Chains A and B, each alone.
Chain A
Amino acid sequence: MASFPQDFAHSVWVIAPSDDPRGAHEALTAARLLAESCGLTVNAMILGATPDDPQAARLQASLLGAGARGVCVATHPALSAGEAVDPAALGAALASLMASQTPRWLVASQQGVLAQALARAAMATDTRLLANITAMTPEAAGAVMLTQPCLGEASLLDYRFEATDPAATVVLIRPRAFSPMPGNAEALSAAMTTEPYALPWPEAGVHAYHWVSSQPVASDRPPLQEAERVVSGGRGLQSAVQFAQLIEPLADALGAAIGASRAVVDAGWRPHHEQVGQTGKTVRPQLYLALGVSGALQHLVGMRDSRVIVAINRDPQASIFKIADIGVVGDVFVVVPALMAALAQRAAS
């Protein structure tokens, strides 16, 4: 096992688990913006369970290809448990590393146990932390603006950091807010030689967290927050049966995830993990197709940043049309079968 790379001090760190390449590359995009604004370099630390983790090796190569100067793989057997890792234990491990290796910025995707651990580690080391960041804007005068949506996505909050500000900051970025940058992984994959670093693990005081079981949420469709397309339904679909009959085939034809409004979830038509909006999930797909959704503010806040919003609703006054890029004014029970037929014809030709 190697020692921790000394040239990681005072740089911008990306931290990611080996099984989240997408989150790692999104964090790298954000980290490069910070590094360019503050005149620093970007290094990455991948957390893995074993020194010969093939996922870690692949991610190491792709991060180097996408602009990280150095990539260190840090391993500990406790990390093999995935979500079952105690955030307090991982937090203590990261805190001791932060205290000894003095990163200037730490950037990670805000999901899973890593984000929880970083919140604890920031507190333990008196390091500032900003979470739910969706944009970074370099400013001319040696400063960088970090942006966070607020008030249920109704507005934005800007935090302006001077490039010369010496205090360290942990930045948790919202998944899907930053796009991975293209890289050149193949060219580098052969050049990988760095030995993994054994992450020191706290020995005492963190025995409170006991994982019992895990039940996968079974679905053939993509996870809602990771899907490029989402087909979502509201009260206008009239019943659980009609929701399923209309939405499910369309979602499958488009390779989309299924979303639902709060009213539909509260009525028991759909499970809560499909709820989009306040007290549900925030999504940002390429296509958001809203069927029979009136567009209550509580729903809009969860999908307004989707790239193309299509709404089908028979009420031309529905609020959903205020944020839809394409609105189809008509009865969903007529328009959706027509859409299915047209998609089938398209696929056949």
Chain B
Amino acid sequence: MQLVVFIKPVIDNTRLRSEQLAAGPMPHDGVDWMLNPYDEYALETALRLRESLGETGADPACVRVSVLALGAASTRECLKKAIAVGADEAFLLCDPLFLQADNAAVARALAAGVRTLAPEARLILCGQQSLDLAQGVVGLMTAQALAFASVTACKSAAWQNAQTLRLVRDARAAQETVDVSLPALAAFGKCAYELRTANIKGVMRANKTPVTLVSAADVGLSDATPGVASLPRPMLRPRAPKTPGVLIPATDDPQAAVLQLLERLTREKIL
């Protein structure tokens, strides 16, 4: 059995310098890449599902956890973390053809990657959205392209049997439990657990196991899909800086400070 985890390398926005946010295309060079935080929950869930598969009578040793990512070659290094924590292999779809890919083009590339690199896979796990664009649609679009069922906003997963997964998900004002028959894609929000830290053995394995670069041609894609309009190329626009607010000191006279606060909130028509 093969479990596929989609991981998007995203820009670590806490380490971006303001000049990298200047007007223009999204920055690619000189940025720090990290694994999308939601995808880390998907990866940890996949590792747990591999370990718990024994309860359904299958042999966990026969389960491969394969990571599939799409990004620039410079994102290769950050994907080693996935191998260090226990993924068996990692593929990076990397091709000039993907540089301008919109969400649907990324979904088509991921679907082609699954068909070529993991044709037997019946379960895909991914994060519910990425940190950078937060669109939350690529997983669903890929599921559609592969004719997989889809469940979003998941927070835990357990095998019902080798063909059915029980997922707990966050609905609008409820926690919902859904059983999904494979083949399926499960998109994860924040879980009650974090991605495990790598041990020494894992780090050594990650050093020996290269992240495999996969070109568009390797997965049978040659050019933009004919007849399909793509999104206009987006341009970055820095946000207008926030006007500084007022500071009310409350150390000496908290009552007076509170009255001043209430007066301002009344003026703002909040109260």
Interface residues of A (CB under 8 A from B): 83-84, 86-88, 91, 110-112, 115-116, 119-120, 122-124, 126, 128-132, 147-152, 154-161, 165, 167, 169, 172, 205-217, 223, 229, 272-273, 275, 278-280, 286-287, 297-298, 301, 304, 307-310, 312, 314, 316, 321-331, 334-335, 338-339, 341-343, 346
A322 to B145, CA, bound (A): 45
Contact B133 A286 (CB under 8 A): no
A residues within 8 A CB of B264?
326
B residues within 8 A CB of A212?
166, 176-179
Asked if B208 lies at the interface with its beta carbon under 8 angstroms from chain A, I say no
Enumerate B134-152 residues with CB–CB distance to A below 8 Å.
Answer: 134-137, 140-141, 143-145, 147, 149-152
Residues of B in contact with A, size category? 35 or more
Asked if B192 lies at the interface with its beta carbon under 8 angstroms from chain A, I say yes
B158-189: contact bitstring with A at CB < 8 Å (1 yes, 0 no)?
A: 00000000100011111111111111100001
Contact A157 B166 (CB under 8 A): no
Closest Cβ of chain A: how far from B239's Cβ, in Å? Answer: 6
Which one of B11, B136, B181, B192 lies within 8 Å of A207 (CB-CB)?
B181
User: What residue in chain A is nearest B233 (Cβ atoms)?
Assistant: A159
Which one of B147, B237, B258 lies within 8 Å of A157 (CB-CB)?
B237
Closest Cβ of chain B: how far from A96's Cβ, in Å? Answer: 14
B248-271: contact bitstring with A at CB < 8 Å (1 yes, 0 no)?
A: 111100110111011011001011
B residues within 8 A CB of A329?
247-251
A341 to B261, CA, bound (A): 13
B residues within 8 A CB of A326?
245-246, 248, 261, 264-265
Contact A330 B246 (CB under 8 A): no
A residues within 8 A CB of B227?
126
Contact A325 B144 (CB under 8 A): no
B residues within 8 A CB of A169?
231
Question: A213, A307, A343: which has the most chain B beta carbons within 10 Å?
Answer: A213
User: What residue in chain B is nearest A334 (Cβ atoms)?
Assistant: B254
A residues within 8 A CB of B236?
150, 155-157
A323 to B258, CA, bound (A): 20
A-B contact count (CB 8 A): 251
User: What residue in chain A is nearest B135 (Cβ atoms)?
Assistant: A131
- A129-B137, A150-B236, A335-B257 in contact; A210/B262 too (CB < 8 A)? no
A-B pairs with beta carbons under 8 Å apart, 18 shown: A87-B150, A88-B150, A91-B144, A123-B145, A124-B144, A128-B104, A129-B104, A169-B231, A212-B166, A212-B179, A214-B174, A217-B174, A287-B265, A308-B270, A326-B265, A328-B247, A335-B250, A342-B255
A55 to B262, CA, bound (A): 39
Secondary structure at chain A's binding surface: helix, strand, loop or mixed? mixed
A residues within 8 A CB of B190?
272, 275, 279-280
Contact A157 B234 (CB under 8 A): yes
Closest Cβ of chain B: how far from A312's Cβ, in Å? Answer: 8
Closest Cβ of chain B: how far from A334's Cβ, in Å? Answer: 5
- A128-B102, A327-B246 in contact; A217/B175 too (CB < 8 A)? yes
User: What residue in chain B is nearest A126 (Cβ atoms)?
Assistant: B228
- A132-B133, A210-B180 in contact; A342/B258 too (CB < 8 A)? yes
Asked if B37 lies at the interface with its beta carbon under 8 angstroms from chain A, I say yes
Asked if B51 lies at the interface with its beta carbon under 8 angstroms from chain A, I say no
A301 to B140, CA, bound (A): 25
Asked if B218 lies at the interface with its beta carbon under 8 angstroms from chain A, I say no
B residues within 8 A CB of A210?
178-181
A residues within 8 A CB of B103?
129, 131
Asked if B131 lies at the interface with its beta carbon under 8 angstroms from chain A, I say yes
Contact B173 A310 (CB under 8 A): no
A residues within 8 A CB of B21?
151, 154-155
A123 to B185, CA, bound (A): 15
Contact B132 A151 (CB under 8 A): yes
Asked if B67 lies at the interface with its beta carbon under 8 angstroms from chain A, I say no
Contact A330 B13 (CB under 8 A): no
Contact A322 B231 (CB under 8 A): no
A84 to B167, CA, bound (A): 13
B residues within 8 A CB of A159?
231-232, 234
Contact B232 A160 (CB under 8 A): yes
Question: A112, A160, A278, A328: which has the most chain B beta carbons within 10 Å?
Answer: A328
A130 to B104, CA, bound (A): 10
